Amino acid sequence: MSRPRLLDLFSCAGGAAKGYQLAGFHVTSVDIERQPRCTADEFVQANAVDLKSEWVASFDAIHASPPCQFGSELTPANARGRHLNLIPLTREILRDSGRPYVIENVRAARAHLISPVSLFGTMFDMHMVTSAGRKYVLTRERLFETNWDLSAPADLGPQGHPIANIYGGHLRCRSGEHRTGKGTGRTMDFPGEDRPALARQLMQMPWASMGEMSEAVPPPFTEHIGRQLRAILQLREAA
């Protein structure tokens, strides 16, 4: 089939968009904020929940990453009520489109997603190497709800390497951290290192800022999803 068109809602700086592009999609991203570094083929500044249903349905497939602050572990418990849970409304919009869709969110939102599949950076050998030659691996669990059968690759885990992550605009490594993000140990910065460069290496997002990477879906996650999604579309086109 020709390059299929994917609509990327709540896009931020385009981590998800880049993965879908690598999988062969033409991506139109939508975000309520201007995103000058978004990698999409086209960008539309708009509120995703206010888009016309006919326009949404004109795409071959849809990805959406509704804001996670309503339930994120990084949002203070007494502040979560200030943030809307847009997952149910987003699901309604995507279902009404009749298109194959993906809804992404954080681990803490599991109860609000339908049979989500977890993806980890350790499934894609995502890592960074410091100037001293030490390797750190990315776990960064993200959940994906789909209205088609998504499969995850094998997860080899950290394999003895320390775990790094980007959150709150910072690059951190917790020495006792497990794949789930739980564990004990001293939270470490990386003195003497170019932390943004390390973070971009870790996330495979060379265009993004630290704040943008804190919110991003790593491109290898959506490249993996996109390749399966293209196969689904090809089967439907052939039927």
The pLDDT of residue 201 is: 98
The pLDDT of residue 184 is: 45
pLDDT (tens digit per residue) in 64-97:
999 965 555 554 455 455 658 899 999 999 999 9
Q: Measure the CA–CA gap between 197 and 168, rounded to whole angstroms.
A: 16
Confidence of residue 225 (pLDDT cuts 50, 70, 90): very high
Q: Global pTM? A: 0.91
Least confident among 56-60, 98-102, 190-194: 190-194
The pLDDT of residue 70 is: 55
> What is the pLDDT averaged over residues 216-224?
98
Confidence of residue 1 (pLDDT cuts 50, 70, 90): low
Let me know if 132 is exposed, middle or buried by CB neighbors in 10 A (0-12, 13-18, 19+).
exposed
* The two three-digit tokens of residue 64, written as one number: 């959406």
- Maximum Cα–Cα distance for the chain, whole Å? 57
CATH class of the domain at 5-238? alpha beta
With pLDDT > 70 as the criterion, what percentage of the chain qualifies?
87
Write down the domain spans for the chain. Answer: 5-238
Confidence of residue 178 (pLDDT cuts 50, 70, 90): very low
DSSP H helices in 98-209: 195-203
Least confident among 103-112, 151-160, 165-174: 165-174
Q: Is the pLDDT of residue 222 over 50?
A: yes
> What is the pLDDT averaged over residues 170-191?
61
Q: Measure the CA–CA gap between 187 and 208, rounded to whole angstroms.
A: 23
The pLDDT of residue 179 is: 47
Q: Are 34 and 53 in contact (CB under 8 A)?
A: no
Strands 101-106 and 187-188: unpaired
Confidence of residue 191 (pLDDT cuts 50, 70, 90): confident
3-state secondary structure of 166: strand
Q: Measure the CA–CA gap between 176 and 186, rounded to whole angstroms.
A: 8
CB atoms inside a 10 Å sphere around CB 104: 24
> What is the pLDDT averaged over residues 155-184?
74
CB atoms inside a 10 Å sphere around CB 148: 14
